[in-house]
Amino acid sequence: MVNIVSLAVGIVAALATTVVAQDPSSSAAPSQTSSTPTPSGTSSAKYNLSNQGGNVLSGEINVYLIFYGDWSSEQSQHDQITFMNFASNISSSGWFKTLSEYTDNSGASVTGPLKLYAGVSDTGSQQLNLTDITVHETIITEAVKSGYLSTTNSIDPNGIYVILAGSNVQDSDFCTKHCGYNYHTDNYQWIFIGYPGLCPNNCIPPINANSSPNGSPSIDAAITIFSHELQDILTDPRNNAWVTQDSTTSPPTEIELGDLCSGSGVSMQQWFGAYKQVAGSNASYNIEMEGSQYLVQTIWDKNANQCSLGQ
């Protein structure tokens, strides 16, 4: 089990809550795709996903977690550990190995491992009503400058930064346009995941709406969302690799790997594979690691031509 104070930098720290005003006119919608665990996406049979010439994230990848907002309750601290355990172990799974099918023009493929490098708590340095992606980017850069994510206070261009919002955090597009999404700057790539419990009908998988494998439908749903965004960000970190467009929408919608096995036209079995129920519970899971159970989204297996949980 990963302990919340035993990450590489040795501590999960609370950042100062200094408010930095944001210009509302700077709002920009993310151009990359988002994940929603209730049917509203795309069918795998509809799109021909191919590499557009960009690089995938290959080799060892550091993961940096930012728990944003209120994570002070006993349940929230348990949820932090649940998420960190998943992030620490997922790259050793058969599920993750399916991603090695996705290569770039240099011949590199998604191999991992993922290394949970550091985590930090930010109780709300950029306020609790997040208005646009520039605020998310500020949260990341300020966390790096704090010294708790990097001993050199520098951005990791090959790493993945993950912002996990607490129950008191609002986001302008969360619950309506997305439950989580991935994006990038010229220097790094990142994932934002809102708190699924704020809109359970939209952001918690219906098969885990009332109970979940780790006793917290919100954090288990966040893990499901993360499993979608992880596929996208590893195979298309800068929006120029494994990505295509749905030209039937206006404006055209960008389609990444995680969209092929989720959304409308995809059955629950395609979406989550052969999921099981926790003994004595209605909670559903489809992967088990280090004695813990999780519900992940399947990955499009190019070789088998189907949605897969790997082997």
Q: What is the pLDDT of residues 243-276, one digit of tens each?
A: 999 888 888 889 999 999 998 788 999 999 999 9
Q: Which residues contact 191 (CB under 8 A, 6 or more apart)?
A: 160, 161, 162, 163, 180, 181, 182, 226, 229, 230, 233
Domain presence at residue 184: yes
Tokens of 48: 């021909």
Give the CA count within 13 Å in the CB-facing half-sphere of 28: 12
Domain count, the chain: 1
Q: Residue 304 falls within a domain, yes or no?
A: no
pLDDT at 40: 33
Q: At what angle do helices 217-235 and 74-89 cross, to 10 degrees?
A: 30
Residue 250, judged by CB atoms within 10 A of its CB (0-12, 13-18, 19+), counts as exposed
Cα(84)–Cα(173) distance, rounded to whole angstroms? 25
Q: Shortest CA distance to 119 belongs to which of 63, 183, 194?
A: 63
Cα distance between residue 137 and residue 132, in whole Å: 9
Q: ω into residue 37 within 30 of 0, thus cis?
A: no
| Per-residue confidence band for 46, with pLDDT thresholds at 50, 70 and 90 | low
**Mean pLDDT across the chain, nearest whole number?**
86
**Polymer length of the chain:** 311
Which residue range(s) make up the domain with 97? 34-43+58-298
pLDDT score of 35 = 58
State residue 47's pLDDT score.
74
Residue with tokens 């009908």: 201
d(CA 130, CA 171): 5
Q: Distance (Å, rounded) from C-alpha 119 to C-alpha 246? A: 36
Tens digit of each residue's pLDDT (9 = 90 or more) over 167-213: 999 999 999 999 999 999 999 999 999 999 999 999 999 999 999 99
Predicted confidence at residue 248, as pLDDT, reads 82
Assess whether pLDDT exceeds 50 at residue 96.
yes
Domain membership of residue 18 (yes or no) is: no
**CATH value at residue 111:** 3.40.390
Residue 52, domain member (yes or no): no
Distance CA 252, CA 28 (A): 16
Q: How far, in Å, CA of 274 to CA of 268, rounded?
A: 9
Q: What is the dihedral of CA 293, 294, 297, 298, to 10 degrees?
A: -10
Residue found by looking up tokens 């990097």 in the block? 150
**CB neighbours of residue 310 within 10 Å:** 17
Q: What is the Cα 98 distance to its own chain's centre?
A: 17
Residue 305 covered by a domain:
no
Pairwise CA distance, residues 13 & 295, whole Å: 29
pLDDT of residue 20: 26
pLDDT value at 311 more than 80: no
Report yes or no on 239 lying in a domain: yes
* 278 domain-assigned: yes
Residue 222 tokens, joined: 């966040």
Residue 252: what pLDDT? 85
Proportion of the chain above pLDDT 90, given as a percent: 77
The Cα 180–Cα 35 span in angstroms is 5
Q: In this structure, are residues 68 and 120 in contact, taking their beta carbons and an 8 Å threshold?
A: no
**pTM greater than the 0.75 cutoff:** yes
